[in-house]
Structure 1
């Protein structure tokens, strides 16, 4: 949580509390911030906090001058009217946005009268997921000013005893170690973080603006009963199933690696690093295959090979030679992987298909619905497909549906320095299958969450919830049937309903059931059609409204006091750009007569982007997060597209621009060199060099490119020690529908500052 321009000495966060209670893996976290306006005039005060992406906001309220203003959760369509009205008035709307790998940001503001106080309170809920043998509770705290009363309290209470506990993160550095106290007793843990005002300014990463970091609590529980852990409360049950005394199943894994032109540079390098480590972790009873693809699909070896030392060494040598080139034929590549696995059936093994790509299908079959149908038909439910989407250019919705339809999941790999570790981390989660075809059943129950799972992996956990429909039930019975390495196995458990229901640690099971049901119905809805799709969506919506969860189907409407604007909080989807839900739009004053134009100016963590055109009389101004990749221009009819990546750290333009034309043509420009590929020939130039046999006109500080019906001149600017690119569109096709930021614009480059009151945050 931080204040923006209102963070002066006279706007004081005098109390900041985070209280998180974890009851049997289900966490309810409450953030309470109390702020005082010490001035003799009213001031706008901002509340901004980061919460885990996996969480649902379930409550928000503001209290001031003796009155409480609660956020109301409504169906998204019903809230859209308030949202649209707020945007049209130039007011902020969409108070939740994605901010990276694990967090979402909630922010709002309110005008506080002179010498008055306001209390903000936000509650969010989440089920902690077991990964690699641990649960993780992530708490982010960044009041961005020292706070006299700063407290983080965490209480964890489980059924079985706690077997492992670790407290780490940026808020648990050496300077702050004395501020953290941990108490552990049997099945309970208490963690308190009470930093003094002085400690809040002297820790690593802290300054006069106070704390900014995470407190990460990881733990696990004893697993004495192979049948799992059963809990019952208020007519609902939860079953945690994670047997440990099971032999690992040999796996057949095929890696499908995108080597298209957009994987150039660090993406390809990190993919190679990750694959070398992953190959090193395969064992001799595993079999594996490697497929690389662009517009052409190549199989390293036609057969799945044993993970012997010799085979793995040859595979590593192959991986080291993978180079980017060409377009992206996802359909043919995945079908080839399915074919490889099906051609080598092996009793007592588990098969896994892993696709790594960073782009849309641009070669072969490019209709994503037909690709999804082809893959689903080919796999036939026999094994899971996991889709790893590299970066933000990838069509994540497409990958997610394809994975979910085939008993897998999609995960985004972020373009950071540790992308290779992200790839390895995902692989480790599925590296050790213990059971396949897992089916769970119970007596006297209904409204069950998912009960069939294709694989159970070491270090994970299967969670099933449901409603006890037989009121006369005295003994609750659970049965799990699965296939292990050698044979079918059965786990059975029988417990007294009366004994379980009387235990104190079983609160929140009903909310856990609702949370998990909504999550799973939303996933299921992606893969369904027609009436089944609508039914899944309706069930998720009804539960979201009943339990007041802010989900992709609902919004929270916050009406402010003193006739201020209405705000609407939406939950962003993984496929959306970070910062993608906050809009502030007003009209720009007319610019001087430059003709049509565009410019960038730097502003903190954003680059300001101004666009004007002949058919847009009033220019538009965008604040775009640094490192964002933008779709600049595309003509689907001629298969032309142009994308740009902004410079970091105060840059005024692009660090790299890529043009794709038809299947194989790729032109990539950065501030040091220009690369061109037609799928077979690869040419590299430096600025000022004269090319041969390539349709480019290259000078010292500009390159003139014509592809199809589009002509673009790229200017190499040098200003105040900064070097950056700028595209100037000189020719566009007539009578076609173009897309992208530069669509329909004849661009000239000039630099102006947008009025501070006007911006659109993408």
Structure 2
């Protein structure tokens, strides 16, 4: 359920867009005369189109660049350039095939388009084209993303920075939720000062429209704005109505999606062990921020929770050898211990995680949910250092009994190693960025898993096939389980959805068979098929990380085939950007988490 690399809640998506070239003088010789961001959200699936129209104002040809920053969880699905009425399309190809074209261009000293990681939530798409004297170019980029719910809401965060006031600047957001919108709010720098007067919001029970149409003068008058125009965020947060416990079922053209997010359940007491790296590389601000976050997290434990603390460097040092109840006496003592954690020595990840696993295995409690949280900033340097051996040891010890969440602190950590270890044990890997708010990032992650409501969740669909993930070790309050698939023989009259899980004190079962009083929602929403493809590709990419040998090759091919069919730019595919005759094609790559861009940036 938990995914992504950003601890800041940003479930529906994040985009920052700008089309710029660096001016050579105070007077611009190019002009962005139109800049539109249009985001349509239908049943949690967001399609965003960014359109920038740029004019060459001088009597000579020049290169115009287009920069767009998009969410790391999004897939680019279309890119078009229009010059003098001629349209040039990007085409998605297998990465190796596109790589040959890219390498050839770079070897000849030519520029090449690329998507590169630029922070905790963003990737940056860059391309350029030569524009004739006094001519215009239109760039249009489309990307898609399934919105994720965290802490009870979805968020759309739009960060606009066009580097100049734009005469025709528009942000249009349309949200459609068939079961109804529970609340909707807007915030961020782009809703402050004079810009607040440029925002309109229209809402019905099932739809909402938010529009930002600022004048050129207003674009210089907001928090963070100035002579160079807009520079800030517009955040739109919302949640949906949930009319029954089974959740929301929708169908279109033989595909279905099921959103499951019950809230009318008692919280399950948890058993949590925090495994904290205190090696020498954690010195300074990292250690200070870790202590700060840990103190806050300990203060948020409920009295019926049980917890353990383990610190490690060359040696593994449990605070206590068993889990303790989170009462005031134990929490006071634990906080005193946390304040005194000092950095020193190497990094024995294998022994530390096995010790945490042993603590949970030795103290089972009926009607509870157990989880391990590992925080580290480095590779294993002592004890068992073979990464495959560590993965094997941890997987065998945990044996699918509870999830392991791996938090990698900083950019030097071997995130691929941590992510695989987490995915193999029903958890997720999350990077914690070494910035001033790192303590808040740690606290934010913990809040996502702080309130388990269900364990061992099984989703069953009689009449469904080609299903996405249907088993989830835990479901947390404020999150959402999403399952999509195809309906066998297009026969929705025999379609049955069942959810079987364990709550605080007993097994629960939800079931709905069509036709019923409120049958599966049939609609003309063609996004359901693309939603299924997006979610399937995401899960296959995760599965590839933890697979090996023939299984890895099989999973990779399955994901690749879907990427090519639906035109998604992923770590397995690239987009070849066709350019006008006489110029070289460019290749758009989507990097893996933490991967550095190859070749030359524009």
For residues 261 and 170 of structure 1, the distance between their equivalents in structure 2, rounded to whole angstroms, comes to 39
Residue 77 of structure 2 corresponds to 58
Q: What's the offset of the Cα at 1:502? A: 4.2
CA contact (8 A) 1:160 1:222 kept: yes
- Residues 94 and 330 (structure 1), Cα distance of their counterparts in 2 relative to 1, 3 Å cut: farther
Q: What's the offset of the Cα at 1:274? A: 0.3
Q: What's the offset of the Cα at 1:496? A: 3.4
**1:139-538 correspondence runs (5 A):** 139-496=158-515, 500=520, 502-504=522-524, 506-538=525-557
Residue 19 of structure 2 corresponds to 2
Residue 695 of structure 1 corresponds to none
Q: What's the offset of the Cα at 1:530? A: 2.1
TM-score of the pair, normalised by structure 1: 0.75
**Offset from partner CA, 1:481-509 (integer Å, 9 cap, x none):** 000110111001123399646435x3300
For residues 479 and 27 of structure 1, the distance between their equivalents in structure 2, rounded to whole angstroms, comes to 27
CA contact (8 A) 1:146 1:200 kept: yes
CA contact (8 A) 1:35 1:117 kept: yes
Residue 563 of structure 2 corresponds to 544
**Offset from partner CA, 1:642-699 (integer Å, 9 cap, x none):** xxxxxxxxxxxxxxxxxxxxxxxxxxxxxxxxxxxxxxxxxxxxxxxxxxxxxxxxxx
Q: What's the offset of the Cα at 1:207? A: 2.0
For residues 496 and 16 of structure 1, the distance between their equivalents in structure 2, rounded to whole angstroms, comes to 47
CA contact (8 A) 2:19 2:52 kept: no
**Offset from partner CA, 1:315-364 (integer Å, 9 cap, x none):** 00000000111010000000000000001011000000000000111111
Classify the secondary structure of the residue corresponding to 2:123: strand
For residues 82 and 520 of structure 2, the distance between their equivalents in structure 1, rounded to whole angstroms, comes to 39
CA contact (8 A) 1:438 1:452 kept: yes
Classify the secondary structure of the residue corresponding to 1:80: helix
Q: What's the offset of the Cα at 1:94? A: 4.7
Residue 133 of structure 1 corresponds to 152
Classify the secondary structure of the residue corresponding to 1:92: coil
Q: 1:565 aligns with which of 568, 576, 584?
A: 584
**Offset from partner CA, 1:211-246 (integer Å, 9 cap, x none):** 122222110011121011000001000000011111
Q: What's the offset of the Cα at 1:527? A: 1.1
Structure 1 gap segments, 5+ residues each? 585-759
For residues 487 and 507 of structure 1, the distance between their equivalents in structure 2, rounded to whole angstroms, comes to 39
Q: What's the offset of the Cα at 1:290? A: 0.2
CA contact (8 A) 1:329 1:363 kept: yes
Indicate yes or no: 2:600 matched with 1:581.
no
Q: Give me the CA root mean square deviation.
A: 1.4
Q: What's the offset of the Cα at 1:86? A: 1.6
**1:692-731 correspondence runs (5 A):** none
**Offset from partner CA, 1:491-550 (integer Å, 9 cap, x none):** 01123399646435x330000000000000000111112222222111110010000000
- Residues 447 and 372 (structure 1), Cα distance of their counterparts in 2 relative to 1, 3 Å cut: same
CA contact (8 A) 1:6 1:43 kept: no
Q: What's the offset of the Cα at 1:565? A: 2.2
CA contact (8 A) 2:279 2:312 kept: yes
For residues 249 and 492 of structure 2, the distance between their equivalents in structure 1, rounded to whole angstroms, comes to 15
CA contact (8 A) 2:180 2:207 kept: yes
Residue 100 of structure 2 corresponds to 81
- Residues 180 and 137 (structure 1), Cα distance of their counterparts in 2 relative to 1, 3 Å cut: same
Q: What's the offset of the Cα at 1:90? A: 1.8
For residues 163 and 224 of structure 2, the distance between their equivalents in structure 1, rounded to whole angstroms, comes to 11
For residues 492 and 445 of structure 1, the distance between their equivalents in structure 2, rounded to whole angstroms, comes to 14
Q: 2:39 aligns with which of 20, 23, 26?
A: 20
For residues 211 and 582 of structure 2, the distance between their equivalents in structure 1, rounded to whole angstroms, comes to 40
TM-score of the pair, normalised by structure 2: 0.95
Classify the secondary structure of the residue corresponding to 2:355: helix
For residues 502 and 432 of structure 1, the distance between their equivalents in structure 2, rounded to whole angstroms, comes to 34
For residues 228 and 563 of structure 2, the distance between their equivalents in structure 1, rounded to whole angstroms, comes to 37
CA contact (8 A) 1:72 1:556 kept: yes
Classify the secondary structure of the residue corresponding to 2:58: coil
For residues 172 and 45 of structure 1, the distance between their equivalents in structure 2, rounded to whole angstroms, comes to 30
Classify the secondary structure of the residue corresponding to 2:251: strand
Residue 671 of structure 1 corresponds to none
